[in-house]
Amino acid sequence: MKEYGRFLFRCFRVSFVGNRMYHAWMLLLTVLALIGLNAYAKQLVQGLATTGMTDQVSWGLYISNFTFLVGMAAAAVMLVIPVYLYRNRELHDLVIFGELLAVAAIFMCLAFVVVDMGRPDRMHHMFMKFNFPMSMLTWDVIVLNVYLLLNMHICGYLVYCAYHKRKPGALFYIPFVFLAIVWAVSIHTVTAFLYVGLGGRPFWNSAIIAPRFLASAFAAGPAFLILTLSVLDKWTSYEVPRKAIMTLRNIVTVALIINMFLLACEVFTEFYTGSAHGVSARYLFLGLHGHSALVPWIWTAIGLNTFALAVLCLPVSRRQGWLNVACGSLFIGIWIEKGMGLIIPGFIPSPLGEIVEYTPTLNESLISIGIWAFGLALYTIFVRITIPVLSGKLTVDRLYEFGAATVPAESDASSTGSPR
Amino acid sequence: MAGMSAFVAALSPLKDMDPDDIPSLDGFLQNHYKEMSDQDMSGALQRIQDEVKKRYQADVVVRDVKPTEGVEFVYALNLSRCVGCRRCASACVEENNQSRDQDMSYIRVLEMPMGTIDIEKGDHTYDHPTVPADDHFYMPIQCHHCAAAPCVKVCPVGATWTEPDGLTVVDYDWCIGCRYCEAACPYWARRFNFTQPELPAEEINPNMSYLSNRPRSKGVMEKCTFCLHRTREGKMPACLEACPVGARKFGNVLDPQSSVAQILKTKRVFVLKEDVGTLPRFFYYFDERAAQHEPPAPEKLAPSRHEGEGR
């Protein structure tokens, strides 16, 4: 127990050590997260009127980001599947980065749900009266939290074993890895069912939403990992195997093709039928009665995704630069597609046919940016700790050489105290 | 050290928090409506009365009005008669102590062109000097108190449910404000308190009940309760009493002599969006003869403004 405490303490200390880039990055994230916290304090005082949401569009940026990030979390398994099902060795060492991403993403999801709640002070009502199994939201609470625990266990166990220079006992993590694979599919499916299960919202009431969620997640998640790995490759001593990146590139390409195909299926159904139920889709893609706030968003998303797909299918994407451009643009494209392209139009027009448009306010944007910064900071710290442990620079009998690193550049780092 | 002070600075807006918004310990520990003992309930009612007194300086009586066995409430609305004056919507705001500065009325009146009952063709914001406008009819929409209510199904904490007499209610002290019910409702019947309701003390309706018109806090859902503090005691809903043309009928459908039971038996009634399977307890009908042969030409009325605040 005491040993574990020391391990945590050492991890904590490592997270404050790094070169100037690292400190600048962490300082930026900390500032953004604090600005977000400040905006949230304002929201707590004045209520959700500080957001752009209305009774007509009752979910906005928060739930959009939540949905997107559930996908990011689920996508972590796209690294795990090739490793454990197909014995792909190249990816083996990278699995942990996917799992860590899942942990950070779930923390962001939970934060987005909390800031969306009108009465976060009543969270404990969940434990006292839990409308399970009727409410899909209760399913989501369960699957997300279990997924969080599964991934924390897998990552924590692997890192702790490396710290102790022990070989991880297969029995202690392999079953959990397989469970996590199934569970990853479940978190995004259940999240899709949140929307799909609402008969009064024809735009969401489509069986294709869950597969679409999975396909888009399995494109955006690995794309984010490619970007992370390329940063690690460039700025740290950690060497990322080239073949692993290429495997991820294939995953992204296939998932993106499926995602765009499913979107096309959806568009066909909505428009060719000509039914009144296609009215939200018409609003989204073409605008309705002079209201067209979402039209530029969705076409930007489609443009970015098409561009990314074109690049990925061409040989140029074997070069890291082009691959990063493609990954970045599809990441943004899918983020738009799931938020502005799926959550918001479900509310427009309202069930009574009223068109009330939605624009996020500054305050809710700051909160959202703050949560992203918080999540990225978490992920950065996780990766920062994991790399020296896995590469044997920080183990039970070998303290990380703090002196080798740049002198701490700002007050945040110096406040941790001097090395023992 | 700098980190700590930055953290505190970030939280500084919290000092502007209205002390009345901070939940009291009793409120925090209060149980779900259905789990409360009689003693818990009288304590809760007293606490609510005190809080209303403190916030609005108004002496009010908050009761817990229970359903009667053998009663199932149903609403029927005569579309041939409704003239679109929106008096129902205004009366609703007053009766139910709704916020005066937000668009909170539980009733939305749509102005429909003749020849369709597609509510997407309805106009929500019509504004004429007098109503009814020529070649239009009017369709007020409020909570349909569905027998298979999607809002009840989706609530993660069971803060909204269907009472034995068919009313869908909300425990405002239990709602966590996730707004899933608002997304689930096909009739747009639910309203969320995006901010603290603004309610002048002199306009408070002091006859309050736990499940209906007591003042709500910010961050919770509310909705039409068919004025259960009135109707469970034999009175009619406020919207019905306000209707100048008698378009609204309300009563116990299990009583064969009631007007609603007669209407369901003899008129051609329909419900909105029957295809979504919600089994509404709110029915619309036309007077067949009047609609086909002698369209009613009621005297023109000055309507209340849209947003239910034109009082």
Averaged over B223-239, what is the pLDDT? 97
From CA B277, how far away is CA A179, in angstroms rounded? 37
Q: What pLDDT sits at residue A82?
A: 80
pTM for the model: 0.92
Q: Testing the interface with A: which of B151, B171, B192 to mutate, by most A Cβ within 10 A?
A: B192
Indicate if the pLDDT at residue A217 is higher than 70: yes
How crowded is residue A316: how many other Cβ atoms within 10 Å of its Cβ? 14
From CA A412, how far away is CA B2, in angstroms rounded? 7
Indicate if the pLDDT at residue A198 is higher than 90: yes
pLDDT confidence tier of residue B295, bands split at 50, 70 and 90: low
Choose among B155, B158, B184: nearest Cβ to A198.
Answer: B184
Q: What pLDDT sits at residue A212?
A: 94
A135·B32 Cβ contact <8 A: no
For chains A and B, CB pairs below 8 A equal 189
A84 min Cα distance to partner chain B (Å) = 36
From CA A160, how far away is CA A10, in angstroms rounded? 12
Choose among A35, A118, A199: nearest Cβ to B219.
Answer: A118
- Return the higher-pLDDT residue of A307 and B19: A307
Averaged over A339-367, what is the pLDDT? 95
Choose among B1, B154, B186: nearest Cβ to A137.
Answer: B154
Q: What pLDDT sits at residue B298?
A: 66
First-to-last C-alpha distance (Å) of chain B: 56
- Residue type at position B200: P
Q: What pLDDT sits at residue A76?
A: 78
Give the CA-trace dihedral at A7, A12, A13, A16, to 10 degrees.
150
Q: Testing the interface with B: which of A352, A374, A410 to mutate, by most B Cβ within 10 A?
A: A352
- DSSP-derived secondary structure letter, A407: P
Q: What pLDDT sits at residue B294?
A: 56
Averaged over B30-39, what is the pLDDT? 95
Q: Are strands B207-209 and B190-192 parallel, antiparallel or unpaired?
A: unpaired
The DSSP line for B127-146 is: --SSBSPTTEEEEEE-----
Beta-bridge mates of residue A167: none
Shortest CA distance from B185: residue in chain A: A200
- Strands (DSSP E) along A48-97, which ranges? none
Write the pLDDT tens digit of every residue in B205-217. 999 999 999 999 9
| Residues on chain A touching B155 (C-beta within 8 angstroms) | 131, 135
**Would you say A266 and A208 are in contact if contact means Cβ atoms under 8 Å apart?**
yes
B31·A352 Cβ contact <8 A: no
| Residues on chain B touching A30 (C-beta within 8 angstroms) | 3, 6
At A319 the three-state DSSP class reads coil
| Residues on chain B touching A117 (C-beta within 8 angstroms) | 176-178, 219
From CA A134, how far away is CA B290, in angstroms rounded? 45
Q: What pLDDT sits at residue A239?
A: 85
Using a pLDDT cut of 70, give the percent of chain A over it.
95
Averaged over B245-269, what is the pLDDT? 95
B176·A118 Cβ contact <8 A: yes
- Residue type at position A197: G
pLDDT confidence tier of residue A404, bands split at 50, 70 and 90: very low
A137·B185 Cβ contact <8 A: no
From CA A285, how far away is CA A271, in angstroms rounded? 10
Indicate if the pLDDT at residue B304 is higher than 90: no
Indicate if the pLDDT at residue A348 is higher than 50: yes
Using a pLDDT cut of 90, give the percent of chain A over it.
69
When the pLDDT of each residue in chain A is averaged and rounded to a whole number, the result is 89
Write the pLDDT tens digit of every residue in A57-101. 999 999 999 999 999 999 877 778 888 777 777 777 788 899 999
- The values of phi and psi at residue B72, to 5°, are -135, 115
Choose among A138, A199, A201: nearest Cβ to B277.
Answer: A199
A56·B188 Cβ contact <8 A: yes
Q: Testing the interface with A: which of B157, B198, B216 to mutate, by most A Cβ within 10 A?
A: B157
Choose among B6, B175, B188: nearest Cβ to A350.
Answer: B188
Write the pLDDT tens digit of every residue in A133-186. 999 999 999 999 999 999 999 999 989 998 988 888 888 888 998 899 899 999
Q: Are strands B73-78 and B221-223 parallel, antiparallel or unpaired?
A: unpaired
**Alpha-carbon distances of A11 from A4, A156, A160, A399, B191, rounded to whole Å:** 10, 12, 10, 10, 48
Angle (deg, nearest 10), helices A362-390 and A209-235: 60
**Alpha-carbon distances of A224 from A217, A243, A252, A369, rounded to whole Å:** 10, 17, 10, 17
| Residues on chain A touching B159 (C-beta within 8 angstroms) | 125, 129
Q: Are strands B168-170 and B160-162 parallel, antiparallel or unpaired?
A: antiparallel
Q: What pLDDT sits at residue A357?
A: 95
Choose among A129, A194, A415: nearest Cβ to B157.
Answer: A129
Averaged over B168-191, what is the pLDDT? 96
B138 min Cα distance to partner chain A (Å) = 13
pLDDT confidence tier of residue B297, bands split at 50, 70 and 90: low
A49 min Cα distance to partner chain B (Å) = 5
The secondary structure element, H or E, covering residue B62 is strand B61-63
A79 min Cα distance to partner chain B (Å) = 33
pLDDT confidence tier of residue B310, bands split at 50, 70 and 90: very low
B195·A49 Cβ contact <8 A: yes
Q: What pLDDT sits at residue B296?
A: 57
Shortest CA distance from B150: residue in chain A: A198
Query: Would residue B57 be called left, alpha or beta, if left means φ above 0 and alpha means ψ between -120 and 50 degrees?
Result: left
Complex ipTM, two decimals? 0.91
Report CA torsion sign: A275, A277, A279, A285. Answer: negative
